[in-house]
Amino acid sequence: MLRRHFLQTGIASAAAASPLFDNPPKRVGLIGCGWYGKSDIFRLVQIAPVEIVSLCDVDKANLEEAAKWAVERQVSHKKPRLFTDYKEMLAQKDLDIVEVATPDHWHALPFIEAVKSGADVYVQKPICVDIAEGQAMLAAARKYKRVVQVGTQRRSTPHLAEARRIVQDGKLGNIGHVEIYSYGGGRPTPAPVEPVPATLDWNAWCGPAPLLPYSSEIQKNWRRYMEYGNGTIGDMGIHMFDMVRWFMGLGWPKRVSSFGGLRVLKGGSNNIADTQTAMFEFDNLEVVWQHRRFGAAPDPAYTWGATLYGDKGTLKAGINSYDFIPLGGGNPIHRDVTMELEQYPIDKVEPRLEKQVAPAIRAHMQDLLDKIATRGKPVADIEEGYISSACCILANMSMQLGRTLAWDAAKGVVTGDPEANKLLRRSYRQGWVHPDPAKV
């Protein structure tokens, strides 16, 4: 019954909203069929009559679950083709849209192959684990003229689009300081060595990154390991930094500095910083990031968000709400996220779905479809995703080196710092070749 209602409401709204409805359905492939890959791709199915024709994952358990959902939810009820090697999937060259939703260390290589194959791409954030990867991804997208949407879906969150208008209309006045932050969510993570499941190719899962001994804890909570990601700032921080850049029309900062470390959540195998402060310096503005994976948040209503301070007012913005507080009188404004559970009732029961984020994913996917139709740049174009990803990586580099980094955006290097520039490109494990921006 849920599926029937989903089809009736989802496809009906797609018929009204999508410029692609009268055309042959877009053929879609997904690389990385874990939690967020499924969250994304099945929001796309809700708003357009696409056909998921190919799924790829090195874990066959993920593959089979995603295939089951596809059979249940897409209009054709056909089972997609299943692959464990993204190169084999992309070699078919029959996909219109590819989503790359692997762990972060596996974004660059399949992304570049996807754009080479002629597909437009939705890629999860951060787009890369090192800056040279991001440069190569941007170069490939432009060379092959592909439309790319990055999964920084705060840019498509309805109540945050309204909050952005408050900024754009000048209601905050001159904004001289911005704080972005994430609090909580941490624990020491033991990772006992375990037998590799029969469904999983662990060597392929690690790919170009270091081959750690298998633990289900690492496979599940890989973001807690710098071998496979960029810590909390590369996970939670990029969303809020990107949102502030979007609110204010900011490009690259002039300097980035950061300090922090693993100070409290010790005793496990996790190695990301459990507290970090980073400063992104723009002209007449500092954007300051802070995370603590322990302790209470200063404002329980905003455990993950941004606060913009102007001479006419203050704006707090997060995924669940925003609050505008004018100075010197005037009416404050509060808005909560609008969920769409009645329109899309399957959202109520889908495992692990972030219900408050689902409307933003749908809007983000719709923006991608619209820009594919016009060959324009989506709201979270690959260049925007590269800037936000690279800035968070620069913060980690600054923390590691213990000094401020001055970024030359035109040259794509840290000014006057050969040691820092060596960190722009991570070492790949033998058997994998790091992409080169000049050779994509």
pLDDT tens per residue across span 95-127:
999 999 999 999 999 999 999 999 999 999 999
Local confidence band at 10 (pLDDT 50, 70, 90 cut-offs): very low
Q: What is the pLDDT of residue 16?
A: 39
CATH 3.30.479.30 corresponds to the domain 2-155+359-384? no
Stretch 173-201: mean pLDDT: 97
Check pLDDT > 60 for residue 337: yes
Q: 212: which DSSP letter?
A: P
> Where do you find CATH 3.40.50.720 in the chain?
2-155+359-384
CATH-assigned architecture of domain 166-338+389-422:
2-Layer Sandwich (3.30)
Cα 87 to Cα 56: distance, rounded to the nearest angstrom: 10
Stretch 393-414: mean pLDDT: 98
Pick from 23, 7, 10: nearest CA to 369: 23
Q: What is the pLDDT of residue 37?
A: 98
Stretch 284-304: mean pLDDT: 97
More confident residue, 58 or 24: 58
DSSP 92-153: T---SEEEE-S-GGGSHHHHHHHHHTT-EEEEPSSS-SSHHHHHHHHHHHHHTT--EEES-G
Q: What is the pLDDT of residue 11?
A: 40
pTM value?
Answer: 0.94
* The two structure tokens encoding residue 185: 């969510």
3-state helix, strand, coil in the chain (%, to 5): 40, 20, 40
Local confidence band at 329 (pLDDT 50, 70, 90 cut-offs): confident
Residues 6 or more apart whose CB falls under 8 angstroms from that of 226 comprise 271, 272
Local confidence band at 27 (pLDDT 50, 70, 90 cut-offs): very high
> Where do you find CATH 3.30.360.10 in the chain?
166-338+389-422
Q: What is the pLDDT of residue 425?
A: 98
Check pLDDT > 90 for residue 23: no
Q: Which residues of 44-60 are buried (b: 16+ CB within 10 A; e: fewer)?
A: bbbbbbbbbbbbbbbbb
Pick from 114, 122, 119: nearest CA to 40: 122
* The two structure tokens encoding residue 237: 């921080």
Cα 199 to Cα 218: distance, rounded to the nearest angstrom: 16
Q: What is the pLDDT of residue 12?
A: 37
